[in-house]
Amino acid sequence: TRNALLERQDAHESSARSYPRRIPLALKRAHGIYVEDIEGRVFIDCLAGAGTLALGHNHPVVIEALRRVLDDGLPLHTLDLTTPVKDRFMQDLFDILPPSLSRNARIQFCGPTGADAVEAALKLVKTATGRGTMLAFHGAYHGMTQGALQLMGSLGPKKPLGGIQQGVQFMPYPYDYRCPFGLGGDAGVQAGLSYLETVLTDPEGGVPAPAGIIFEAVQGEGGVIPAPAAWLQGARGLSRSAGVPLIIDEVQTGFGRTGKWFAFEHGDITPDVVVLSKAIGGSLPLSVVIYQQELDLWQPGAHAGTFRGNQLAMAAGSATIELLRREAIPEHAERMGQRLMRGLRQLQGVHPQLGDVRGRGLMVGVEVIDPDGASNRLGHPAAATAMAKSIQAECLRHGLIIELGGRHGSVVRFLPPLIITEQQLDHVLDIFSVAVQNARR
C-alpha cells in the first residue's frame, strides 16, 4: 500500500519519521469519518487523531468557526492575552464541567499538546504540596516529554533515558482481564485499593507522601482499560484522606468519548486536577489544566509558553462543545459504543483469537490472544502481537484505519469520530470481520 509520495520521502536521506509505520498513507482530503489518500482511495478513520476528532474531519461547524475568526480579522496570536473568543471558550468549557468541579475551579492554558498540560499539572501539585514524587499506574500513558514520560506505566520508551525511572511509584491499575493480583472482578478491585491504601498510609512502608496521584479513568494507549466505578471512588476517597491531590488525565477520554462528558463522571467523583487536550480544540492544538482553587499556590507565569491559548483552536473548541451539547452526542457515543461492542462480541464467538472486548462509549478495544497459548494472563503473547498487526494491515487493505495498543501492542483499538452512524458502524464491523478472517498468525 505504499505510494509514490511515501517512497520519495523514504528515499530522501533526510526523510521525516512519520507517525504510523503501520499506517503508510499520504492523505489528501478528509471529511466526517472518511479520509482520502493521494491515490484517491477512501478509508474509514477509526483512529481519528488518536481520539481527537469528536466531530470527525472538517465538520462544517468547525470550518465555519475558523472562517469567522479569519474573516473578522480577530487576532490569531495573543500570547494568551484575553479575547472575546477566549472568554466564550472558557464559559463553554466551564458549562460542561460538573458543578462540583467548576464552582471552585481555575484554568491554566497550556502549550498545544497533552504532554504540556501534564507537565503543568505536575508542577502545580508539586508546588502546592512541596513534595516531589508521584504515584502513577502500570500501563499509563501521559505523553512523551520528560515529566510526562516519567509517568509512563511501561518501560520501553523510558529505557534509553537514564534516571527517568526515579521519582514515581507505579501501582497496579484495575485490569480485570489480566488482573495483576490474579483475582479479577470485585476482589481484584478491592485488592488494588487495599494496596493503594497501604502505600498512602503505612508509615513503615518506606514511601514518602507523593505530590499527587495521576491516572486515566479509561486507559487508552494502555489497551482501552476502563477503571470500574468502585475503583474510581475508592481511589478518590483514599487520595482525599491522605491529602494527596488527584489528577485525572482526560486527554483521550474527554468531551463525550466515553459516553459522558468526562470519564471520571462514570465514578461520580470530583478530581482535584483535570488534564484536557485532543478533542478540546475541535481538531486544532490546544490543552488546558483545570484545578481546584486551593492548589493555586504557584507563581503567576509558573507555566508560561508562547503558543498557549491558540485562538483558532478555542473558536473550533467552542463550536465543537456547542454541537456536542445541542445534538446530545455523548449519549449517541454511548449507544454506538454498545452497538460496536455487541458486534465485536458476536465475532468473538466465531474467532477464538479475539479475547476480551471492552470499552466505554466509543473508546473500544479487543484483546487479541493466542488461542493456543498456555497462559494469556501475563505470558508474552508473541503470536497475539503478530496477529494484531496482521488484523490492522488487513483492515487497512479493506479501507479501515484502526490502531493497536496495550501490552505488546496486542489490543485493537477503535476510536471513531463520535458522529459515526449505525450504518457506518456496521460497515466498520463488516470490514473488521473480513480482516480477522484473513489475518495471518
Q: Contact residues for ligand PMP (CB under 6 A)?
A: 50, 113-115, 118, 141-143, 216, 220-221, 249, 251-252, 277
Smaller CB separation from ligand PMP, 263 or 336 = 263
Q: 221 or 367, CB closer to ligand PMP?
A: 221
Q: What is the largest CA-CA distance in the chain?
A: 64
**What DSSP line would sit under 66-110, residue for residue?**
HHHHHHTT--S--TT---HHHHHHHHHHHHHS-HHHHTTEEEEEE
Q: What is the DSSP letter of 373?
A: -
Question: Which one, 270 or 277, has the nearer CB to ligand PMP?
Answer: 277
* Least distance CB 409 / ligand PMP (angstroms): 14
CB of residue 404 to ligand PMP, shortest distance in Å:
13
Q: What is the DSSP letter of 206?
A: S
Minimum distance between the CB of residue 141 and ligand PMP, rounded to whole angstroms?
5
Q: In 351-384, which positions are buried (b, 16+ CB within 10 angstroms) versus exposed (e)?
A: bebbbbbbbbbbbbbbbbbbeeeeebeeeebebb
Least CB distance to ligand PMP at residue 249 (A): 5
Q: Nearest distance from residue 428's CB to ligand PMP, in Å?
A: 21
Please state the closest distance from residue 274 (CB atom) to ligand PMP, in A: 12
Is the CB of 117 or the CB of 429 nearer to ligand PMP? 117
Q: Tell me the closest approach of the beta carbon of residue 140 to ligand PMP, in angstroms.
A: 8
Q: Shortest approach of ligand PMP to residue 93 CB, angstroms? A: 18
Q: What is the CA angle 201-203-205, rounded to 5?
A: 90
Cα(409)–Cα(428) distance, integer angstroms: 21
Question: Is the Cβ of residue 277 or residue 310 nearer to ligand PMP in the bound state?
Answer: 277
DSSP per residue over 104-168, as a string?
TEEEEEE-SSHHHHHHHHHHHHHHHH----EEEETT----SSHHHHHT-SSSGGGTTSTTTTTTE
Whose CB is nearest to ligand PMP? 114
| CA dist., res. 183 & res. 222, Å (int) | 20
The arrangement of strands across the sheet holding 287-292 comes to 105-110, 287-292, 273-276, 246-249, 212-215, 134-137, 168-171
For ligand PMP, give the closer residue by CB, 216 or 394: 216
Nearest approach, Cβ of residue 112 and ligand PMP (Å): 8
- Those residues whose C-beta lies under 8 Å from the C-beta of residue 247, and which sit 6 or more positions away, are 121, 125, 212, 213, 214, 215, 271, 272, 273, 274, 275
| Smallest distance, ligand PMP to C-beta of residue 119, A | 10
**10 Å Cβ neighbour count for 273?**
27
Helices then strands, each counted (H, E), the chain: 13, 17
Nearer to ligand PMP by Cβ, of 252 and 270: the residue is 252
Query: Residue 161 or residue 350: which is nearer to ligand PMP going by CB?
Result: 161
Q: Which is nearer to ligand PMP, 114 or 234 (CB)?
A: 114
Q: Bridge partners of 368?
A: 354
User: Hey, what's the cell of 218?
Assistant: 479509561
Q: Which is nearer to ligand PMP, 52 or 424 (CB)?
A: 52
Q: At what angle do helices 229-242 and 185-201 cross, to 10 degrees?
A: 10
Three-class SS of residue 387? helix
CB of 104 to ligand PMP, least distance (A): 24
Q: Residue 193 in contact with residue 187, Cβ under 8 Å?
A: no
Q: Which is nearer to ligand PMP, 176 or 403 (CB)?
A: 403
Cα–Cα distance measured from residue 129 to residue 209, given in angstroms and rounded to the nearest whole number: 10
